[in-house]
Structure formats: C-alpha cells, structure tokens
Amino acid sequence: MRTVDKSLEPEDIGRVFPREIVDIIIDQLGQPESLDVLRQCCLVCWAWVPRVRHHLFRRVAIRIKKRRNDRGSPQDALLEFSAFLAQAPPSVTRSIRALKISGGRPIAAVSLTSIRNVAVRLPSLHTLHISSVQLVGRIEHQDTVHSFTTLRLDTFVMVERFLDLLLIVSNPIALEIPSYAVGIGNVAENVSAYAKQSPPVCIRLRSLTLMTECMNSLFAGLLLPMLSENMLTSLSLRCVVTDGQVNTEDVGKLIRHARLTLERLSLNLGFTRDDEGTHGTVTQEAARTGLNLDLCTSLVSIDLDLSSTSTFILLFVRTLFRELFSRRPGHAETLRFIVVRADSLDDITGLDQTLHLYMPPGSSTRVRLAWRIRESARHIKPEDRDAFVEAMPLLHGRGRLYFHPDGDSDPSVPWDACVEVGL
C-alpha cells in the first residue's frame, strides 16, 4: 500500500495524485452549493487555481441597488466590475459563462453602454440575464459584442431602446422574454431610426421565447420585417385559445416567417379569464388553427403545454394534429417527437384517439409525456407510467408511447435511450 509523504508541500500535491484525478475531484465540487468549498480549494496550491476558477466564476450575479439617499450611482457596481475584469487574468474572464444583472425596489436605471462595456470583456459569455432594472440610453460604440448567445429579460425590466439591446450582439442569439412584467419604450420610433440605415438592420435570432400576447404582437408586427428568415430554428410561444373563436394571428405570422428553418415549436395553450367557467360550451372542432403548421418543412418536435384542458382547447388540439399530419409526406416524416405537458394524466385521455386518427400508419413520431414546468419538482413514477399506458391504449398498441427524460427519479430506467413503455 502506498503511503502519503506528509513532508510534501501543498504545491507538490501533483506528486501524490495525477492531474486528471485532481481535475475530476474539483469538477465534482463545481456546483452552486459548493462555492465555500471551492474557495477553500483556491488556497491549497497554485496548480489548483485555474481549474477552481473555471467553476467559481462560471456564474456571476451583479446586484444593482438604487440608494434612497441618492449617494452614489446605480452604475457603480457595473463600473467596479468592469474595472475588475480589466485587471483580471484570462483564467477568470474566460470562465464566466453566465452573467445576471438584477436590481430591486426602487428600480434602478442602468445604461446599455455600461452593460456592453462589461460584456465585451467576457469572451466566453453564453447567457446574459437582466432582471428588475430600467435600461436607458443607447449604445455609443457601433462595434458589437461577439460572445453571448442567450439574452433573457425577466421580471420588471423596462427598456427605452429595445432594438439597441437586441443589436448589441452580432451572434444569432436565443431571446427569452418569459415574464409578463417587461416594459418596452417607443419601439416604432426606434425601428424608424434603424430603418434608415444601409444596409438594412437585421435581428439575428436562432431561438425566440415569448410568453405574452403583447410581445407576440410586437415581434409579429413592427419587428417582423427585421427578423432574419434563415436562422430561426426554435419558437416557444404562448397561444391563447378563446371560447368560440381562434385568435392565433400573431403566433401564425411568426411560424410562417420561420417555416423553412423551424425545427422545434413549443406552444403554451391557455385561455383568457373571460373564458373561465365556459369550458363545456363549445363542442365543434375549429376549421383551422391559423398556426400555418402546414407550411413548416423541417419541424422535428412540437411541445404542447396544456395549461388547461377545457373542451375548446382539446378541440383546438385536435385540429392542430390534423394540420400537422396533413403536410406533405416528406415534411411529416421529419417530425420525431410530440411532447405533451399536463398537470395530471386525466388531462390527456382525449388525445389518444385524436393522435391515433391523424398519425399516418408507419409514422416514426414518438409521443412523450412530461409534467408541466411548474411541476418540475414532481417526478414520473412507475405507477404514472402504468396509468399513461392505460390512458392511451391506441398509441401504446402502435408502440408510440415514450416518456420525456426530464425530471426522472428512477436511475434504473435508461431514459436517455428513450425506452418504450410496456417493454
């Protein structure tokens, strides 16, 4: 048995353990709850520092506070962080993958230029998350940031010049606006200013997440001519289906715009408060959804979040599946997954016959079950699998039932291999 020489100095620890083993140990500690342990690891020896920094600085959060005594400026935190980055070694700046800039009450004003000055110093930045601040001013420098690929606006964000923010980065980005509390300034005036430029300004989006009707209208209206047609591969939208009528014009415009490149479509199907209590009054299937699914040529997966299982929403879903599988055979064959998110298995019993009716014989499309996002802490249990099979006997008989791998608690089930239910 090999014994450890206690006379070794900390910097000689590499003589005891191979470097690869030390890296694996540090990687196992690279979780948010292990930050205190990671800080202690920095004090062990210099050889550990680069690997520890990779995890310690992966996610950085800057808290912007508006002082009630008017001392100082909300920009101070960003200015201090920018000064820190100017002096930091590459092992720090290249480790920062996610940056969150958030404020509180009262909401502080932060300039777009100060955010840009921080982002340009982070070559590996992947996600920029902005929350509870007011973004003011415009970008003073025309050169754009070349790093981050995901921009998330969430919870009480107010933006004076929305296009300036979208054009701060040159990469095709994933834009996420999941909150109802995002305020946009005079977009028409902002669009008019950019429309005069030559060549025309293009918003380069590869993925778009919008959870409000007003944002759907903005992107399907004023901003639609500026959206690149050949980059948008993923759309996640809230689609409001009302009792007695279908009002999906804005969602349909966005899908039509991305029809040639769209691969992943996620629809949160809900209803307005005015339709609460009228769940059983509609009994006739809608003639069309207005979603333009028949134009999509590259669709690989569609994710349906059933926030309600009212009669008119289930009838809308029936029309949706009819349109989805009535596309040209070559286009329908690209569809690999249909993910159904529901609150309970009782909500999906009516979908079995609908999917069996419209899914062509020999179709390779797999139907998966997943709990809704707000039920993310709830795992799919073996009894849920049995109930799922009983609720959808027609699809199970065709061998098309699968479970979504997210949130599984049973390590004995190889979810990543997409094992079929009932084997």
Residues 221-243: tens digit of each pLDDT: 999 988 987 899 999 998 887 66
The one-digit pLDDT tens for each residue of the chain (423 residues) are 444 444 444 455 556 677 788 888 888 877 766 778 888 888 877 888 888 888 889 899 998 876 555 555 666 788 889 999 999 999 899 999 999 999 877 788 888 888 888 988 999 999 999 998 989 888 765 566 777 889 999 878 888 888 888 888 878 889 999 876 678 878 888 788 777 777 777 888 999 999 888 899 999 999 998 898 789 999 999 888 766 556 788 999 999 999 999 999 999 887 665 555 444 454 566 678 889 998 999 999 998 887 666 677 778 888 899 999 888 888 888 888 888 877 766 667 678 888 888 888 888 888 877 766 454 445 666 676 677 777 788 887 887 777 654 444 344 433 333 333 332
Sign of CA dihedral 419, 320, 374, 148: positive
Q: Which parts of 103-189 are beta strand (E)?
A: 108-111, 127-131, 133-136, 150-154, 157-159, 173-177, 182-184
DSSP H or E run through 206: strand 205-210
282, 311 Cβ separation under 8 angstroms? yes
CA–CA distance, 96 with 327 (Å, rounded to integer): 44
Give the Å distances, CA to CA, from 49 to 18, 44, 58, 89, 99: 16, 8, 14, 12, 21
Phi-psi region of 97 (alpha: psi -120 to 50; beta: other; left: phi over 0): alpha
Structure-token pair, residue 117: 């000055």
Amino acid at 353: Q
DSSP H or E run through 266: strand 264-270
CA 165 from chain centre, in angstroms, equals: 18
* DSSP bridge pairs for 266: 236, 303
Structure-token pair, residue 142: 């025309």
Best CA proximity match to 337, nearest among 354, 322, 355: 355
Best CA proximity match to 234, nearest among 154, 313, 314, 150: 150
| 59 half-sphere exposure, CB direction, 13 A CA radius | 8
- 122 exposed, middle or buried (CB, 10 Å; 0-12, 13-18, 19+)? buried
Residue-level pLDDT at 347: 64
Residue-level pLDDT at 61: 92
Give the Å distances, CA to CA, from 239 to 204, 209, 214: 23, 12, 12
Residue-level pLDDT at 221: 92
Structure-token pair, residue 309: 């299982």
| Cβ neighbours of residue 145 closer than 8 Å, sequence gap 6 or more | 116, 119, 120, 125, 168, 169, 170
* pLDDT tens-digit readout, 266-312: 998 876 655 554 444 545 666 788 899 989 999 999 988 876 666 77
Residue-level pLDDT at 228: 86
CA–CA distance, 23 with 203 (Å, rounded to integer): 40
CA–CA distance, 293 with 334 (Å, rounded to integer): 13
Q: Where are the alpha helices (DSSP H) in 7-128?
A: 19-28, 35-41, 49-56, 76-87, 90-93, 112-119
**Polymer length in residues for the chain:** 423
Residue-level pLDDT at 73: 65
Best CA proximity match to 230, nearest among 196, 258, 193: 258
